[in-house]
Amino acid sequence: MALQIISKTAADAWIPEIWAQEILTRLRANIVLARIVRRDYSDQVAQRGDQVNITVPMTLSAFDVGDTGTQNVTLTTKSVTLNKFKHVPIRVDDLALAQAAPNILEDLTGAAARALTEAIETDLFALYTAASGNVGTAGSDVTAAVIRQAKRLLDDAKAPQTDRYLVLSPKDHIALMGDSNLAVFFAQANPETIRQGILPNLYGFQVAMSQLVPVVTGTPNTTYNLALHRDALALVTRPLPAPMDGTPSVVVADSESGLSFRMTMNYDVLGKHHTISVDILYGVAAIRPELLLQVRA
């Protein structure tokens, strides 16, 4: 039987680094809340259950010149436990691979990235229960007046004027686009963004949409949109160690997105299939809940 030569292009599809880079690119594109919140990144390898301490900004007082009084500086930290260990296992049989379309790499990495994204985003959105306050009414749509109320509460909490975000469900994102009280503003400010289905900044908030905004079933249902400053929530990830048995793997620690994940790959000679696993270790916490509001609808 003649020797079968595998082209470099075909072989590249099973190099872990290539898969990992594809997944990273798609993760960056898909995350919403994880991109907004405070992210802590380190190349220190960690284990499940480890804690990371994040320093919370302190408050100091100003004194009259000549006053001999002093004030003690005490650093306050909030702990984030790395207790979220998620993985996406993928098995690709040789028969399926032979019959698959050429873009199988693109399809599988896209699906893996979406699964990891939903896991991270869902855990971050679950922190809505830690919010210090709320605006809006369950069963209604978000309006311009509700957003102004959220701005007022964050102003009262002395939240910085920059890095404020409003994350809305698809329902409320559309409702806000159709708010008659904002029609003139939309027409004059940046009509092109509305034509593209994007909301411009409103009342100091950068506006984003996510399909993962929590909705709690009831009478009526309650949608928990979020208004927050980026310092309200934290996402911490840490690299995982490479397998000790020599299994092909790559660990990606991305300083741009604050994400770190591990990808391993092996081939079962007898079973005739590849097994790919993408896993991530992370933790989330509300480190400054006074800067987080529920925007109910």
Output 64 or 143, whichever has higher pLDDT.
143
Q: Domain residue spans in the chain?
A: 14-55+77-126+234-283, 134-232+289-296
Give the model confidence (pLDDT) of 191-202 as tens digits.
Answer: 777 788 889 999
Percentage of the chain lying above the pLDDT 90 cut:
42
> Could you tell me the pLDDT band of residue 8, with boundaries at 50, 70 and 90?
very low
Q: Strand (E) positions, 137-219?
A: 164-168, 206-209, 215-216
Q: CA 154 → CA 129, 151, 200, distances in Å?
A: 17, 5, 19
Tally helices (H) and strands (E) across the chain: 9, 14
- 3-state percent helix, strand, coil for the chain, nearest multiple of 5: 35, 30, 35
> How would DSSP label each residue in 56-78?
EPP------TT---------EEE
Give the model confidence (pLDDT) of 191-245 as tens digits.
Answer: 777 788 889 999 999 999 999 999 999 999 999 999 999 999 999 888 788 777 7
CATH number of 134-232+289-296: 3.30.2320
Give the model confidence (pLDDT) of 126-142 as tens digits.
Answer: 999 999 999 999 999 99
Q: CA end-to-end span of the chain, whole Å? A: 68
> Could you tell me the pLDDT band of residue 98, with boundaries at 50, 70 and 90?
low
Indicate the fold that domain 14-55+77-126+234-283 takes in CATH: Major capsid protein gp5 fold (3.30.2400)
